[in-house]
Structure 1
Amino acid sequence: MHAFPEVGDNGDEDGRNATLDDPISPDGRPEPGQLYSVPARQGRAVRLHKGERLKIVNTHGTQVCDTWAFSAEDPAEFLSMEHLRAWIGRLVPRPGDELATNRRRPILVLEEDSSPGVHDTLIAACDLWRYRTLGVEGYHDNCADNLRMATKAIGLRVREVPSPLNLWMNIPILAEGGVGFYPTVSKPGDHVVLRAEMDCVVAMSACPQDILPINGQDCTPVEVHFGLV
């Protein structure tokens, strides 16, 4: 019998930024009527009770926001893009769609979307290894680490980095079967409203991508805003 080595999880960040030290509150609970910021290149996490509605605003219109959701009862259950696509029968959710977990239960509902509805469910969160393939030496802020730090900052450690719902990310499927990495088509102030279908933790990352033009032609990440409605 061969003994397999112990397998670790994927919950440790490869570097850090202010995400780890600046949660919206110690436990991630938001105050009604308060508008919060996800600063450029950073992440934030928020705890929602079932039925609460979270508004995420593309303040400048150019910013991609990687978005995750985890069951508050068991973080091993999370919003899953591969399960979501099968659940809704499309690549991209529309208002009224339930957003499903890896246990095929709705965790969120997309209630409102004031943008043209161009979002992405295909591309993994950027990470240190992605930036190395793009020629970056040393550390680069990334969405995977922003998720890890944002959840740790409110007392939750996630064991993996699921593929996110990339709000406002414009990744068209091209005629020859490839994918494009294009700027957003949203406008300043466009927003989505997500309703919690179970007690959950929603994490957001203002994507730090500054090499490809997904955050606008000038490749400059900026902040997004969020709050209860």
Structure 2
Amino acid sequence: MLIESQRNPEQAAARHWVGAGDYFLGEIKQGQTLRLVDLEGNQAADVLFYNAQNPSERYSATDTIRTQGNVYLSGGSKLISNNNREMLEIVADTCGRHDTLGGACATESNTVRYSLEKRCMHACRDSWMLAIAEHPEFRISKRDITHNINFFMNVPVTSDGGLTFADGISAPGKYVELTAKMDIVMLISNCPQLNNPCNGYNPTPIEVLVWN
């Protein structure tokens, strides 16, 4: 469901520019609202959410899909943890579809999907591993890197139950806003993928805004 936001970017408490292929790792307090902005269009942001007090509680794709009865996220969707608790709610969305099934690119999947020569190409899992290595204060380890949300990414489900990576449906300036229902840690890989249409074969920056 498309929902426009009434929040003024000039009144945001924090703004972060995340370059193509870079990461963001930070805490969002309960009650705060964050906005992810697709600055140039057709970008994919691979995102993981954790309970800031206990990172073993984290976003669960299975519980989120089961609760809302939909494999796609949009306005009104609630993100559910592996403890079956509400973590965030999407309160505004001008894109209309966000993927829960496609997962994140890795050196291994680059090799399997594309070619052995693609193995050395940078991938989202590399960004996540770098982020948690550089920020041990968040107490996130390799075992906590699980299934993610691909904001702005278009992964249609085929009639026979398969997945396809299709051209994005986002555009410059499209955004999604989420309100935190608990203190959370958000880990973003601004996807560096060059081998499928999720980034239009041209990764671009995103922006993160936070309101109190």
Query: TM-score category by the smaller chain?
Result: 0.7 to 0.9
Task: State the match for 2:58 in structure 1.
Answer: 78
Report 1:196-211 matches (<5 A): 196-211=180-195
Show the counterpart of 1:149. Answer: 130
Per mean C-alpha deviation after superposition, the further-off stretch among 159-168 and 128-137 is 128-137
1:226 has 2:208 as partner:
yes
What is the CA–CA distance in structure 2 between the aligned matches of 1:99 and 1:137, rounded to whole Å? 33
State whether residues 92 and 120 of structure 1, in contact with CA within 8 Å, keep that contact through their aligned partners in structure 2: yes
| 62-71 vs 33-42, greater mean Cα deviation | 33-42
Rg larger in structure: 1
Q: Distance in 2 between matches of 1:140 and 1:122?
A: 22
CA deviation map 1:85-104 (0-9, x unaligned): 01111111232222001111
How far apart are 1:110 and its partner, in Å? 0.7
Equivalenced residues, count: 196
**Deviant stretches of 4+, over 3 Å:** 151-154
Q: Per-residue deviation at 1:137? A: 4.9
Look up the match of 1:15. Answer: none
**Which protein is richer in strand relative to its size?**
2
Tell me, yes or no, if the aligned pair for 2:19 and 2:204 is still in contact at 8 Å.
yes
Structure 1 vs Structure 2 CA RMSD: 1.7
Give the C-alpha shift of residue 188 in structure 1: 0.5
Q: Which residue of 2 aligns with 1:17?
A: none
Structure 2 counterpart of 1:213: 197
Tell me by how many angstroms 1:138 deviates: 5.2
Q: Displacement, 1:152?
A: 3.7
Q: How does 1:90-105 map to 2 (within 5 A)?
A: 90-105=70-85
**Is this contact kept in 1: 2:35–2:177, CA < 8 A?**
yes
CA distance in 1 between partners of 2:13 and 2:31 (Å): 16
Give the secondary structure class of the aligned counterpart of 2:89. strand
- Alignment-derived partner of residue 5 in structure 1: none
Partner secondary structure for residue 177 of structure 2 = strand
Question: Relative to structure 2, which stretch is displaced further, 191-200 or 167-176?
Answer: 167-176
Match of 2:103 among 119, 124, 148: 124
2:44 equivalent in structure 1: 64
Inter-partner Cα distance in structure 2 for 1:176 and 1:165: 23
TM-score, normalising length from structure 1?
A: 0.80
- Provide the secondary structure at the position in 2 that maps to 1:35: strand
Secondary structure at the residue paired with 2:208?
Answer: strand
For 2:127 and 2:178, locate their aligned partners in 1 and report how far apart those are by CA, in whole Å. Answer: 20
Query: In structure 2, what residue type is equivalent to 1:62?
Result: N
Amino acid at match of 1:121: T
Q: Secondary structure at the match of 2:131?
A: helix
Q: Identify, as 1 or 2, the structure richer in helix.
A: 2
List runs of 5+ in structure 1 lacking aligned partners. 1-31
* Aligned mates of 1:137, 1:187 — CA distance in 2: 27
Contact 1:125 1:144 (C-alpha < 8 Å) held by counterparts? yes
CA distance in 2, matches of 1:96, 1:189: 20
Tell me the equivalent position of 1:25.
none
